[in-house]
Homo-oligomer: A and B are copies of this chain.
Amino acid sequence: MLLPHPTADQISLATVLSVLGDPTRLGIVAYLARREGMPMNCSQFLDLGSKTNLSYHLAKLREAGITHAEVLGTSRLITLRRDDLDARFPGLLDSVIAGAKDFPLAFKGIEAMDA
């Protein structure tokens, strides 16, 4: 099943920035960036928030065009829309990801998951 996604042309700078401007969502994006090319399952972000909370944040990211989500059975496979974002706003995603490295909250759960 494919959830609704904006096309690349529909991705808006104001929406992308506003949706990225949240510690939990920055944490999710930073994590996806570190595992690029490897689709992540919702449950792998559980250290960043409750299930309900994460569903909300993941929907925001998808609706803004920052992530791509595919429903596969009971799982949701999430990837960054790097090509679309890089084409629309060159350099933006890289600078955000680099900035999120200084962001301890964003990496709290990530380090634990890597251990």
Contacts and interface: CB of A to CB of B under 8 A. Distances in A.
Interface of A: 13-23, 26, 88-92, 94-96, 98-100, 102-103
A5 B88 CA distance: 32
Total copies of the chain: 2
Given A14-B26, A18-B18, A92 B88 contact: no
A96 B21 contact: no
A23 B18 CA distance: 10
Contacts of A89: 95-96, 98-99
B23 A21 contact: no
Contact of A90 (B13, B88, B98): B98
Contacts of A21: 14-21
A13 B91 contact: no
A107 to B, nearest CB: 12
